[in-house]
Amino acid sequence: MNSTLNTNKDPTCSTIKSLAPEYLIICSPLLKGCTLKEKLWLEFLVNVATDIIWSNSAFQSLVLPPSQKELIHAIATSQISDSSEFDGVISGKGKGIIFLLSGGPGIGKTLTAESVAEQMQFPLYMLSAGDLGTESQDFESTLRSVLQMATCWNAALLLDECDVFLEARTSKPLERNKIVSIFLLTLEYYEGILFMTRNRDLDKNAREKTWKNFLSFEGHEQYHQITDIEVDKLAGSNINGRRIKNVLKTAKLLASHKGEFLEFEHI
């Protein structure tokens, strides 16, 4: 274990250069932490722990209309700097910000949340509706625990495939109605940033835009010869954004193998 301390971030330790051997003996080589991907608390070796390297280009490369990108960035920035300014009539209620990202699979809903988190340099805790459970009692305790943890960490929360919470309530089943009520009431007191995604089918115009977005990504625009007329033909196929991405990736690999520009025939 290295005896030199990293004092760049803590001015109170600026005069400490190293620890004496007798102190190193009683220091643990492990740190406890949570992996946001696996959602597990684990132990990490101190000598391999490093500062987070944020991607400054993720948000810039996000394919969205400039006005929408500016709005998302402005709201997220304001929420982090001072969420209390927009407190509701009841103290502690309505202080959070909720983004609803809607569209077919593969069009960039999750990428939008990830890009904002990278740009703002805060953690992103991701989970799906299924992670919260189907029994109302377990659902409420799990949801409150997740929201509390996200608030303590100053993290954004991404709730994927939340369609079940956005459907109109009916007379049955009662358990689902109870879960929806708990969800909506609990969110009223969440003070952080929440991204919610829901899936819906793409119409032809949306599919055409998705094709053009993927073709305009860095690394594609200079290497394809697909015309707008051909994009219109591609948009006629009723497939979602994820399949469009996979088809385009396969076609690009085929064109690269042949040493050719990406053309309509490859797709």
Q: How many separate domains does the chain show?
A: 2
Does residue 70 lie within any of the structural domains?
yes
For the chain, list residues with pLDDT below 50: 1-7, 12-13, 218
Say whether both 195 and 121 belong to one domain. yes
Say whether both 77 and 161 belong to one domain. yes
Say whether both 138 and 177 belong to one domain. yes
Which pLDDT belongs to residue 45?
Answer: 92
Beta bridge partners of 41: 34
Does residue 11 lie within any of the structural domains?
no
Say whether both 147 and 189 belong to one domain. yes
* Token code pair at residue 244: 């469009």
Rg, the chain, Cα only = 23
Does residue 42 lie within any of the structural domains?
no
Which pLDDT belongs to residue 1?
Answer: 40
pTM: 0.68
Q: How far is CA 242 from the centre of its chain?
A: 16
Does residue 18 lie within any of the structural domains?
no
**Which among 166, 184, 199 is the end of a domain?**
199
pLDDT tens digits along 72-112 = 888 888 877 765 555 555 555 667 888 888 877 777 888 88
Which pLDDT belongs to residue 10?
Answer: 53
pLDDT tens digits along 214-227 = 787 645 555 788 88
Say whether both 208 and 193 belong to one domain. no
Say whether both 232 and 122 belong to one domain. no
Q: Does residue 254 contact residue 234 with C-beta atoms inside 8 Å?
A: no
The size of the chain, in residues, is: 267
Does residue 1 lie within any of the structural domains?
no
Range of the domain at 224: 204-266
**Which among 199, 231, 254 is the end of a domain?**
199
Taking CA atoms, 6 is separated from 21, 33, 49, 238, in Å, by 17, 19, 12, 55
Say whether both 175 and 260 belong to one domain. no
Between 204-216 and 241-258, two packed helices, what is the crossing angle to 10 degrees? 40
Identify residue 266 by its one-letter amino acid code. Answer: H
Which pLDDT belongs to residue 126?
Answer: 92
* Token code pair at residue 94: 């309505």
Say whether both 114 and 156 belong to one domain. yes
